[in-house]
Amino acid sequence: MHETTLLLIEVGALLLGMSLLGRLAIAIGFSPIPFYLLLGLAFGEGGLIAFDASEEFFAVGSEIGIILLLAILGLEYTAPELFESLHSARTAGIVDGLLNALPGAALAFLLGWGPVAAVAMAGVTWVSSSGVIAKLLRDLGRLSNRETPAILAVLVIEDLAMAFYLPVLSAIVVGVSLLQGAISVAIAVSVVAVILFIALRHGHIVSRLFPAEHAEPLLLGVLGLTMLVAGFAQEVSVSAAVGAFLVGIALSGRVAKNASAVLTPLRDLFAAIFFVFFGLTTDSAALVSMLLPATLLAIVTILTKLVTGAYAARKAGVGTLGQWRAGLSLAPRGEFSIVIAGLAVGAGVEPALAPLATGYVLVTIIAGTVLARLPDAAWFKSAVRRRRVARAAV
């Protein structure tokens, strides 16, 4: 069969399967994310049937999905709101790094993998998935909640921290000189600073580049600028997601509102592709041997993320229920964890690190998707109210 024909068949079958699973998720009132992951696992390496022809298509689509998720999330907020959230969450960012990096490093030492693997595992457990969490917030209707700016501030701080971490990790595992690592960090920080300055001071000028009332040029222009900035950001070791988010922050007024409307269908398509692709690239057989340590590590770091999110929300003046929502929403890890593990394994650090990281990410995404819904349950709200009344009485 011709390669293009096979590609069309595989993509069509997966999209149809995603549609059916999405409808099932809506019917039972559940997030479709775990279903998309399981669909990918079923047709990935080690699954029922390996869909190889469509892997490259889904790889590119998954990158676009993350970019669109964060760009549209950025369109919901203004630059002053972002800076205010970052200012209030700076202490939470430090707490986040300490609490969530240590479990990964500790497990690497317990398994006898050595200090280099410990540095890599610290990154795997530290950074939450901006893409997964952005979709969760949207699916659960929480974009306008009081705790959401605190969640976003923690995510942005983590992604910005990657501008320092990834060059340092590369220097350690690949053998890049200290000077080269320092230059990479300096370039990355400079690029982020420039984008932040433009977003804060000249966002209104950026918005004037696009016709708010004409859907087609607005769609093409905003999408083009977002992907362009995301690409340049990634080239200098800054997260493409951060670049896309900051483009969204820079746009304002009717341009931001209308851009969000025209980009939403594309975001829905490519965000779903992102989760399927993650499953497609996961070797189901390799997961089995590392599932137990991955699950134990996930339990510990879901609790540490709960502390991080609750602390950030409390610092922002959010109530108890919002603190629970913030903490549980931060549980999923994703794209950065996989990139970090791939970098370490590619440099010959520890082969078992890849299946451990993959299993860990899979568990946190599935568990995090379920746990994020708990604060919306009537029994959970009642328990929080009872505890609040009991503490007030004391």
Domains observed in the chain: 57-377 (1.20.1530.20)
| Higher per-residue confidence, 358 vs 191 | 358
Work out the percent of the chain whose per-residue pLDDT is above 70: 90
pLDDT at 104: 94
| Half-sphere exposure of residue 17: CA atoms within 13 angstroms, side-chain side | 17
Both tokens of 343, joined, read 């970098």
Q: What's the Cα-to-Cα distance from 164 to each of 34, 41, 169, 235, rounded to whole Å?
A: 31, 33, 9, 14
| Higher per-residue confidence, 320 vs 249 | 320
pLDDT tens, residue by residue, 287-307 = 778 889 999 999 999 999 999
The lowest-confidence range among 28-32, 154-158, 359-363, 378-382 is: 28-32
pLDDT at 80 over 80: no
Q: Which band of pLDDT confidence, cut at 50, 70 and 90, is reported for residue 163?
A: low
| Higher per-residue confidence, 53 vs 357 | 357
pTM over 0.85? The answer is no
pLDDT at 288: 79
Place of tokens 């977003």: 199
Q: What is the mean pLDDT of residues 30-39?
A: 79
pLDDT tens, residue by residue, 249-268 = 888 788 888 998 899 899 88
To 5 degrees, how large is the angle CA 153–CA 265–CA 365?
Answer: 50
Q: What is the mean pLDDT of residues 162-167?
A: 71
Q: Which band of pLDDT confidence, cut at 50, 70 and 90, is reported for residue 1?
A: low
Q: Which band of pLDDT confidence, cut at 50, 70 and 90, is reported for residue 45?
A: confident
pLDDT at 237 over 60: yes
Q: Among 32-36, 204-208, 317-321, name the most confident range.
A: 317-321
Average of per-residue pLDDT values in the chain: 83
Q: Which band of pLDDT confidence, cut at 50, 70 and 90, is reported for residue 217?
A: very high
| Half-sphere exposure of residue 121: CA atoms within 13 angstroms, side-chain side | 31
Place of tokens 């986040």: 96
pLDDT at 174: 62
Total residue length of the chain: 394
14 and 276 in contact (C-beta within 8 Å)? yes
Both tokens of 341, joined, read 């593990």
pLDDT tens, residue by residue, 95-110 = 999 999 999 999 999 9
CA-CA distance, 36 to 23, in Å (whole number)?
Answer: 12
Residue 194: how many CB atoms within 10 A of its CB? Answer: 11
| Higher per-residue confidence, 202 vs 277 | 277
